[in-house]
Structure 1
Amino acid sequence: MTKGVLVSRSSLGGFRAFPGQVAVTRFAHDYCDDYSAGEWIAAMIPRHALPALGVTPAIRAPSLLSGAKAGLFADYLLSLVQRLHDADPSELPAIAEMTRVMIVACLTGDASVTQMPAERSIVMRERVDRLIRDNLGSARLNPERICALAGISRSSLYRMFEDRGGVAAHVQALRLKRAYAELSNPHSAFETIANLAAGHGLHNTTAFNRAFRRHFGCTPGEVRGAALRADPVPPERACSPPQSFADLLR
C-alpha cells in the first residue's frame, strides 16, 4: 500500500494493510477487499513464472509480510515504479529478473531457488520470446541474430524451441498470425498486402502467399475481402484465427 487502508477478507483468513506494508494473496480463492482512498502497487505473478512459490507458507493464505525483508521489498517496489519510466527497453529483462529474485527472497528467505534449472529455462525462454516479438519486422531476424540478441548459443536456442517445431517455424508462425490479424482489420485496407507482409518480416510476396495459405487454409486476399465485407470466410475455406488474445499482443 502507498496510501489509504486495505481490508481483505476470505475463507482462508484476512488482513488490514496500511501504507508501507506488503500484502500477499492468491487469485485461487474467493476474497473481498475494501479500500479507503487506497493507492497501491500490485505485482501479479503467473504460477509458471515462479513455481518455487507454490509451496511457500506465506502465500497459502492472505497475509501481511513483516520484518526487514518486507520493508526492503516495499522500498524496491516503490523505486521500481519510479525507475521504469526511465528504463531503456534493453534493460527490462534484467529488471524483470531482479524483481523475481527480490520476490522469491522475500517470500522464501532463499534467493538460491531462483537458480533452479527448470525456472532459469522458463525465464530465458520468456526473454527470447520477447526479443523475437520485438524484432519480428526485421529481415535480419534469423537464428544467428536471435542468439546474438539473447546472448545464448545456437544449440540452446534450438533446444528451447524443439516443442514448437523449431525456432524458424515459431518465428514464421508469429509473423503469419500478425499478418492475419492486420488483414482482418478493415482499417488496414489502405495498405497493400505486400507492404503489410513486409512490415512483419515477410518480404517475399510469393513465399508469403504460399505460407499463408498453407498455415490458414485460405489466401491473404480472401481474408481481407471477408473483413471488408464483414462476411466470414465459408466454413469449408475457413482460416484458422490467432490462437488467443495473447497471441495478438505478441
Structure 2
Amino acid sequence: MTTETEPYDPQQARLRRHETKPEGISSITLWQVYRSRLAPLCDVSLPEKGAEAGFCVTSLAYQTTRASLMQTTSVAQILRRGPKQIVNGTDQILLYLQVAGSLAADCDGRRIQVEPGDLVLFDYARPLVSRVGAFTNLVLAVDRDTVPAPLLGLGSALHGYVLPRNTGAGRLLGATLTALLAAAEHLTLGEAEAAVESVLHLAAGLVRSARLAEAETPEAVGMIRYTAALAYIDRHHGDLDLGPDEIAEHVGVSRPTLYRAFEHAGGVHAVLLRRRLDHVMRELLTNPVARESPTALATRFGFGGPTQLSRTFRARFGLPPGKYCALIEKQDAAWHAAQLARIGFGPEPMATSIAAHASAPARIAE
C-alpha cells in the first residue's frame, strides 16, 4: 500500500537561519576565518596593531534565492572593496542600516559619514573604502537584476546615497528592515522573496521622494551643476588642457562655485581623471583595435603619454591596461557590457561586439 504525498514546494520551505556565535575558538583564529570568508567581497583589516587578539564577531543571516539579510556585530574594522573584488565578486546592491557605531566611507569619490539610524545604498560594482568603529549593522544585499529600475536609474548617485535617521524616509525604511529581520524565521521562502521585493519598491519610492525634495535645496543646485559639468567633461575629455576654468565658464559659475559642486566627489581634477579613465576602459572593452596603440589611446583621452595612462589606469582599476584586457578574455561578455552601463555610459547593445573581439591581442603597454 502506498501513500500519496504532496509534491515538495521549495517556496513553502522556511527560511534557513544562519547564526554565528563563536565559542571555544581563539580570537586570532576567528579573525583569520572571518578575513578569509570576506576576501571575495572586500579586504578587511583592523585599525590597530595587535587587535586580532581581541577580535570578536557575531552574525545572524537569512538567504533567499536572490537576496540575503544579515545583522552583524563586531569590533572596529577597515574594509576596502576594489577592482579585484568587483571583477571577480558578487554584483549586488546593498541597503545598509547602521544600528550602532559610526561609519566613514569613500564611495568611489563620494565621502559620507553614517551614524546610528542612517540608511545607505551601496553599489558593489563601484569601489568602496569604509572605516567603522565597534558596530552593529543590518544589511539587505540583493542581486542587481532584482533591483527596481528607479533605483538603478540613479546611476553613480546611488553609491553612497544616504537616507538620514532624522527623516521620515530614513525612519520608515530602517524600521521596515528591522521588522523584516524580526519576522524572517517565521517566513517561507516565497513570503520572504515577496517581502524583499516590497522593501525594494518602498526604497525606490522613498528615494525618489527624497530626491524631489532635495531639488529645492542648495545641495540639489550643486548636483545640477555637477551633472552639467560632468556632461561637458565627457564631451571634451580628450582635450589635454581641459581644466576648471573652461568647465566653470561652460557651466556659468565661478571657479570657487565649481569647486564646491565637486567637493562631494573629491574635486574637479579627481573627477576629470576618473572620467577619462572610465572612457579608456570603455574603449578597451568595445574596441580591441585600440589596445594595439597605447600612444594613440593616451592622446585621444587626454593623457600626457602611455606611461601616465598605464600608471593612472592601474591605480584606479587595480591592473595595467594590458593585463586588464587579458582578464576581459576570460570573463563573460555580457557582464562587461553591463559594467559599462554602471560607470555611466547607459545601456548599450555592446555584448555582441565585445564577444566578437574578446580574443584580440592585448598589446597595450603593461
Instruction: Report TM bin, short chain.
Output: 0.3 to 0.5
* TM-score, length-scaled by structure 1: 0.46
Q: Which has the higher strand share?
A: 2
* TM-score, length-scaled by structure 2: 0.33
Q: Which has the higher helix share?
A: 1
